[in-house]
């Protein structure tokens, strides 16, 4: 996939997530929508890391966990605890549904969004 298209998709997804979080959700449906935005953002984040690492001749980014490990090694990410929490949240939301888990994830979305924005800035700065 073209790097510019994938990065632009990531930027739009992050913007939509942050716009959705700008005011508190009024219903479970709105919270679910915010969680879905987060899932899109996370998928685009690790795929952008994979592509950026490949462009630098680095490999082993075939999974989200491997991509995060590479991003930490390259210092593209600095808050390992939050990123691992994001990976866990994405896995829980993608593979199972638990209302209590969903509410906990929703409550962390602003923190997750800020981390996604930081990664986006790093990737955009690479040109």
- Answer yes or no: are the C-beta atoms of 19 and 38 closer than 8 Å: no
Q: Tokens in use for 98?
A: 């638990």
Q: What is the DSSP letter of 63?
A: S
Higher pLDDT, 10 or 59: 10
Other Cβ atoms less than 10 A from the Cβ of 40: the count is: 16
Q: Supply the CATH number for residue 100's domain.
A: 1.20.120.330
Domain region containing 81: 3-125
**pLDDT, tens digit (0-9, with 9 covering 90-100), for 2-43:** 778 999 999 999 999 999 999 999 999 999 999 999 999 999
* Two structure tokens written together for 26: 């009024």
- Tally of domains within the chain: 1
């Amino acid at each position: 996939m073209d790097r510019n298209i994938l990065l632009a998709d990531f930027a739009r997804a992050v913007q939509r997530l942050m716009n959705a979080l700008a005011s508190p959700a009024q219903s479970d449906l709105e919270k679910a929508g915010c969680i879905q935005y987060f899932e899109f953002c996370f998928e685009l984040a690790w795929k952008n890391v994979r592509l950026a690492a490949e462009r630098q001749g680095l490999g082993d980014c075939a999974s989200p966990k491997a991509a995060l490990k590479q991003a930490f090694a390259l210092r593209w990410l600095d808050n390992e605890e939050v990123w691992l929490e994001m990976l866990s949240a994405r896995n829980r939301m993608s593979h199972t549904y638990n209302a209590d888990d969903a509410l906990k994830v929703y409550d962390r979305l602003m923190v997750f969004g800020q981390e996604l924005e930081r990664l986006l800035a790093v990737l955009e700065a690479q040109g």
